[in-house]
Amino acid sequence: MGHKDIKKYILHCSVFMMACFLCLFGYIVYLQVIAAPSLAANPMNRRGNAALDIVRGSILDINGRELAKSSQPGERSYPYGEIMAPVTGYLGEAIGSDGIESVAGSDLTGQSQQLQMLGPIGQAMQSTQGNNVKLTVDADIQQLAYDALGSHRGAVLVMNAETGAIIAMVSKPAVDPTDVESNWKSLTAREDSPLLNRATQGLYPPGSTIKVLIADAALDEKVTDLNEKFNCNGKLQIGNEYIGESHGAVHGNNLTLKDALTESCNVTFGTLAMRMHGKGLENAFDRFGFTTPINSEFNESTCHLPKFSSLGDGDTAQVGIGQGETLVTPLRMAMLASAYVNQGKVMVPYLVEEVISPVGLVIRKASPSKWMEVTSDKRANIIGGFMENVVTNGTGGAAAVSGVRVIGKTGTAENSQGADHGWFIGAAELPKGKIAFCIIVENSGGGGAVAAPIARQIITALRDR
Amino acid sequence: MKTKSLLLVAVDFLIMFAGLGIIMLNQYPNIDYSPVPWALGAAVMGFAIQLFLVKGRYSSDIWVFPMVLFFSSLGIIMLARLKPILCVPQLRWLMIGMAVMLGVLYFSRQLKNMMQYQYILGICTLVVLCLSLVFGVEIGGSKNWLVLGPISVQPSEFGKILLVLFLAAFLSDHGEMLNAAKRKFLFLDLPPIRFIAPLLVIWGIAILMFVVQRDLGSALLFFCMAVFMTYMGTGSKSYVFIAMLFFGLGAAVSYAFFSHVQVRFNIWLDPWADPAGQAYQVVQSLFAFAAGGVWGTGFTHGHPGLIPEVHTDFIFSAVAEELGLLGCTVIMMVYVMLFYRGIMIAMSCKKELHTLVAAGFSIALFTQAFIIIAGVTKFLPLTGITLPFISYGGSSMVSGFIMIGLLLSLSKKEKVHGA
């Protein structure tokens, strides 16, 4: 047992410890490089929202007016209060966030993924001020639509049909986002759901507005043509049940498809739905994207469609007039209307126009893109023409604006919660571009009387700018 | 060449002043200048000591001290960022540590003589460890503190120095006998019980610390040290095997009977079973590593404050978050270099005793760094222990500098009389 042996044993121990250290180092590399993304995404990880030392950026409307602003870390005010609440959403330590505050959260705190990848170099570029987010929303139109709803609950959605930019997104009732966290318990318990963004999350039976889709589908499935004459005696008998016309109207026996849409004839559209059966209806709703998520800046509710193939004749006819189990969101109905002024194409709807750094540099700009081609250019013209007739000669007369081509469709949705909901969906060709809109006024009765005049106000305001 | 080592010291203090500067700029306009005089004092002291070392009167190694200063500087700026109130005390401890190291170097001849009194060292080790067993006060979940008036001391930090010294003395003296007088038992070579008794006592105390004081980190370190020292002194794999058996039994029994051991082990097996409760600290630490990534978030830009007790045991997680994998790599590399220098010093010692002491200290510091880094990354079950020279702690700082002082004095090439 000599000194040499001891040195040999020391080397053994050293090599062993070095090997352990090397393994540990390898594990740390794994932790910080490979496992890092999944750990960062863990919901227990509060680091993403821990940006308490950063002054959150402002949310601006298309004209640069402030919809949400912060003057110091942790403080946030919303100059438009409940009017813009469905757009801005809310923010709270304990309640999380919603709306743009949620969707554009990392932009508003300035903590972009790219900057984080750069580490300290990114921090050098990171200011204590988050980025401003400029939206496509126009505060004037939003305000107008909000006021136009009056004391009714409901939603208004206005979008640019050619780009998908959302111009207004109103939901009523709403709550000033500054008050949400302190009243969280009572707000979430309220029967009128003020935190629900009705424009994207409200699910309603579409009523007669769905007839534009049914007309399109009937032509596509070739169960009718433009020359067929329908006969309406005010009642469509299906076994023991029947579908009637509203107000007991009788549309006569010389109805073309165009006339039927203009007069919103239930008998005709119930008949068309039954001719298409389950498969034809299913194809139509698929084609118009009702089963495809938008996958963008909206926290939307999924539209509820019945199992078309298992419906009896009576329920199939109900689909044709937008009653029964079918439930849709106002956003989807505005998108449906937009196809008829945009050559059958629907654009991806979006809210964030630009992300602007604190020094005014545009970091990101929205690029409008096509979502899907729901119908042909030719048929869009045909149905668009029918819808124009609805405004000029039919139930949507209240939406007519001089000097502007307005197309539309009224709807009246029966529901279990009292008086009918009034719908008006449509589009307008303004000098500065084409818009599509959807208005729903809860428990207001027919859409032609209450919802269509709101559309008229919006179109007039946009025409006069 | 030798004077160039001053450049390393300059780099160390550059790190310290740059870090403190960043923190002060962040404080603007209410800047707290209180650490500045202390930092300047530490810098002056650091340069003076390195100049003194370069002269080579008491030591022949000039690389170890700059590495230690690197850790200390890093620790101080991390503390200034995490717990500003502890920055000045830590600077004070750094200066005390350096002064103690100078003292050790100055009295190195006497100390080297004292290293030979193995039984006195053995008794001292026992006394120091029993002190905390008997009079220990619980601070932060571990009952391993002695409160002496205004200061609290962790005896185990000093116990580990005595342990290395005692084992080195015992093994260099009895190594031959431990190997010669063996009896075969199964496939194990066993020495007579009276030779192995001191080792059994040390192992037993380690287990006691484990159980009574809840100081799992120190217990693990003591145990590893005892095993490493025994192997280095005798080269006997039988001892290692017996020790492992002992450890396995001890761990199994503690797991069966003591809930705090069970908790630690279960957290290690599956931290996601209770991430908001018992595993909170470890889970937050893992998040810190993830947040850091390769480059880190940048100094002062992370959120290490989300980890409880980040300034002591979990300081490495804060480094990982703010300085990233790069920072981790540099720190681990410097620990490897320190270890390498230590082993080189051991290899060049002329006496077996000195070789064992130098190797023991080197392995002790390296193993301690390994245990705590492995703990905060969930590589091994977490056992609270300080990261040498970086974590906050006076006892740990001073005992670290004592070890470095002894290591440096052992590097001094001296004439061997009659050997």
Look at chain B and count its residues.
419
| CATH number reported for the structural domain that contains residue A459 in this entry | 3.40.710.10
pLDDT 10s digits, A324-349: 889 999 999 999 999 999 999 999 99
- φ, ψ dihedrals at A404, nearest 5°: -130, 135
- State residue B143 phi and psi, 5-degree precision: -95, 55
Range 416-445 of A in CB contact (< 8 A) with B: none
Across B95-202, the runs of DSSP E, i.e. the strands, are 137-139, 142-148, 151-153, 183-185, 188-190
Compute CA distances A278 → A304, A320, A326, B260, whole Å: 15, 11, 13, 64
Write down the residue that tokens 């006497």 correspond to: B110
Count the domains in chain A. 1
What amino acid is encoded at B7 in this protein? L
Distance CA B58, CA B50 (A): 12
pLDDT tens figures, B296-353: 888 887 888 878 888 888 999 999 999 999 999 999 999 999 999 999 999 999 889 9
Listed residue (B171, B293, B198) closest to A28, CA to CA: B293
The 10 Å Cβ neighbour count of residue A417 is: 7
Q: Which residue, among A47, A109, A125, would best test binding to B if mutated, counting the most B CBs under 10 Å from its CB?
A: A47
Contact indicator for B322, B299 with CB cutoff of 8 Å = yes
User: Quick check: A119 and B295 CB within 8 A?
Assistant: yes
Q: Take residue A408 and report the two structure tokens written for it.
A: 């539309």
Helix, strand, or coil here: B313? coil
**Residue A374 belongs to some domain of the structure:** yes
Nearest alpha carbon to residue A410 among A266, A203, A305: A266
Which residue segment(s) compose the domain that A194 sits in? 142-463
Which DSSP category does B273 fall into? G
Residue A115 pLDDT > 70: no
Question: Amino acid identity of B133?
Answer: L
Q: Encoding tokens for residue A98?
A: 């919603």
Closest CB from B235, B303, B320 relative to A32: B320
Do the domain assignments include residue A121?
Answer: no
Q: Which of A3, A9, A25 sits opposite B332 (nearest CB)?
A: A25
**Quick check: B79 pLDDT over 80?**
yes
B228 to A15, A416, B66, B171: CA distances (angstroms): 12, 80, 27, 12
pLDDT range class, residue B214, cuts 50, 70, 90: confident
Tens digit of each residue's pLDDT (9 = 90 or more) over A1-45: 578 888 999 999 999 999 999 999 999 999 999 998 888 766 666
Give per-residue burial for A321-354: e unless 16+ CB within 10 Å, then b.
Answer: bbbbebbbbbbbbbbbbbbbbbebbbbbbbbbbb
* Residue corresponding to tokens 């038992």: B185
Q: Would residue A137 count as lying in a domain? A: no
Whether A157 is in a domain gets the answer yes
Residues A173, A192: Cα–Cα separation, whole Å: 7
Lowest-confidence pick of A221-225, A453-457, B259-263, B287-291: B259-263
What is the spatial distance between Cα A306 and Cα A326, in angstroms, rounded to a whole number?
6
> Which residue among B343, B356, B370 places its CB closest to the CB of A20?
B370
A396: in domain = yes
Contact B235 A9 (CB under 8 A): yes
Position B25 pLDDT exceeds 80: yes
Assess if residue A12 is contained within a domain.
Answer: no
- The answer to whether position A326 is within a domain reads yes
C-alpha pair distances (Å), A410 with each of A150, A151, A265, A389, A395: 19, 21, 12, 12, 7
- Is residue A25, in this structure, part of any structural domain at all? no
What are the pLDDT digits (tens) for B102-145? 999 999 888 888 888 888 888 888 888 778 777 777 776 666 77
Q: Does A224 have pLDDT greater than 60? A: yes
CA distance A406 to A462: 13
* Contact criterion met (CB below 8 Å) for A250 and A296: no
Of the candidates A167, A187, A169, the one whose C-alpha atom is nearest the C-alpha of residue A177 is A187
- The amino acid at residue B25 is L
User: DSSP code of B274?
Assistant: S
Tens digit of each residue's pLDDT (9 = 90 or more) over A170-195: 999 999 999 888 888 888 888 888 99
Q: Which residue of B has its CA nearest to A125?
A: B298
Nearest residue on chain B to A48, alpha-carbon basis: B291
Q: How far apart are the first and last CA of chain B?
A: 32
Measure the CA–CA gap between A431 and A451, rounded to whole angstroms. 23
- Distance from C-alpha of A301 to C-alpha of A328, rounded to nearest angstrom: 9
Whose tokens are 């923190």? That residue is: B23
pLDDT mean across residues, chain B: 86
What residues in A contact B283, CB-CB < 8 Å?
44
d(CA A419, CA B351): 101
Record: contact A9-B332, CB cut-off 8 A? no
d(CA B45, CA B158): 24
Q: What would you measure as the largest C-alpha separation in chain A, in angstroms?
A: 118
CB contact under 8 A, B290 and A39: yes
DSSP A140-169: HHHHHHHHHTTT--EEEEEEETTT-BEEEE
